[in-house]
Amino acid sequence: MVGVPKTIDNDLSATDQTFGFDTALTTATEALDKLHTTAESHHRVMVLEVMGRYAGWIALESGIAGGADVILIPEIPFLIDNVNAKIIERCSLGKKFSIVVVAEGAKSVDGEVIVKERIEDSFEPVRLGGIGIKVARQIEEGTGMETRVTVLGHLQRGGTPTAFDRILATRYGTGAVNFLMSGKFGEMVCLRTPDIKSVSLGKAVGEMRLVPTSSDIIQTARQVGISLGD
């Protein structure tokens, strides 16, 4: 058997990127572009809950690309007072709307991730979800601004793949066939930019790829004025 890294969450540490992530990222970014219109015209706070499980890649990158004002990810526990302070600050500057992106695995400093449901005998027994609704309610209570929430859900998992994902999946596919033909079993193909390599299946699933809190992309978000709630 030879594995290929397919997940929209981009949380496999053995590869630089999984296929499916770029398509989900594009879907989330396009949703933010659309939410900007209603947020600005109706002077609302719009909260978008995205997938990602315990990794914040979709939320972080779509939030930066889509012009979010607040991004909440699992790797950085947040204080709702800091979120509300950012929104109130924008209002004081004449910006009567805000966009908040929340990863489904995000949690407050004094809380835990919200579990939507548990399903026994499932590959994914713990289903996350509900943090967007909670954050929206706390924002409305703390700022007095009308706040709406959109849970993007399974729209992130389907649709037409981006060109990047099509090419990456093709590279993974040809790499997997090459490994099979050469008898290299028990491996997963992976991207080690710019090349397709292989890694043992055990190592491939041994560690999650989370957003490093000191990474350049985190600093980029902060430098453009995005609040991460900490």
The rounded distance, in Å, linking the Cα atoms of 9 and 2 is 20
Q: Find out whether 142 and 122 touch, Cβ atoms under 8 Å.
A: no
Catalytic residue among 9, 11, 69, 165: 9
Q: 65 with 166: CB under 8 angstroms?
A: no
> Is 22 assigned a catalytic role?
no
To which residue do tokens 């706040």 refer? 147
The CA distances from residue 178 to 172, 183, 195, in Å, are 10, 9, 14
Q: How many CB atoms lie within 10 A of CB 170?
A: 11
Active site residues: 9
